Structure 1
Amino acid sequence: MNIGEASARSGVTAKMIRHYEAIGLLAAARSANGYRVYDDRDVAVLRFIRHARDLGFPLEDVRKLLALWRDRGRASAEVKRLALSHVDALETKADSLRSMAASLRHLAAHCHGDDRPDCPILEDLARKE
């Protein structure tokens, strides 16, 4: 199948498929005329990558997960370690996002939001530290 068909079947854009090839996550075969040719295994890999990225895994972790997925002799402990490490990173990021939201909520609560030019939101953003 061509890149358009692989894209449609995997849910990964053609641009991202080319990117994944460029960084070595996917190795598509080439036809005699140089066009990329994909098979069902390639589509499965693309779906795997898409799902891992949907869960927020960074590309280096996706690379590791792909290697573990392909290794039938793997220990699940390594997969679990990667997953739990990612959970920790997500929770840290979520805490940071909650903190940012609270700061903005506080600033917005102190902004009159009227015709006056005074605005604590802009003052805070312009603050030199």
Structure 2
Amino acid sequence: MAAELGIEAHVLRHWEDVGALTVRRDRNGYRVYDDEAVEQARTVLKLRRVGLSLPEVIAAMAPEKSAAQAVVQAKIADLEGEVARRLQAITFLRHTAECRHRYLDDCPDCAAFVRGA
């Protein structure tokens, strides 16, 4: 299962330990990854790859839709804030790369970027 997902087996065990993944056991105690467990693992992996922490993943997979949506909406807001900060950083860096002033302190535009940070 881990190889199919491209992750280490200990990651699957950890997800199970923290409650992000439910895996059935056979009579001998071996994990059985049925279709439901495989789909659940894929969902956990996708949510982790888009930036959710394991507690957020667990909450996002909660049976109560409104609780899950609240977690996802909060993550969207976090990501949008990060995008805005990165765009500001790009704007600042582009300006500094093209700035005619030798030192950033000498440039009113650079100083304005710094004060706005």
Under TM normalisation by the shorter chain, which class is it?
Answer: 0.5 to 0.7
Checking the alignment, whether the CA contact within 8 Å between 1:61 and 1:82 is kept in structure 2 is yes
Matching of residues 1-129 of structure 1 within 5 Å: 6-9=1-4, 11-14=5-8, 15-28=10-23, 29=25, 32=28, 36-68=31-63, 74=64, 76-110=65-99
State the alpha-carbon separation in 2 of the partners of residues 30 and 13 from structure 1. 23
State the alpha-carbon separation in 2 of the partners of residues 35 and 12 from structure 1. 21
CA RMSD of aligned residues (A): 3.0
TM-score (ref. length: structure 1):
0.59
3-state SS of paired residue (2:61): helix
Q: Give the paired residue count.
A: 101
Change (3 A) 1:35 1:79: closer
TM-score (ref. length: structure 2):
0.63
State the alpha-carbon separation in 1 of the partners of residues 26 and 94 from structure 2. 54
Higher relative contact order, chain-length normalized (CA < 8 Å, sep 6+): 1
Q: 2:112 maps to what in 1?
A: none
3-state SS of paired residue (1:67): coil
Higher helix share: 2
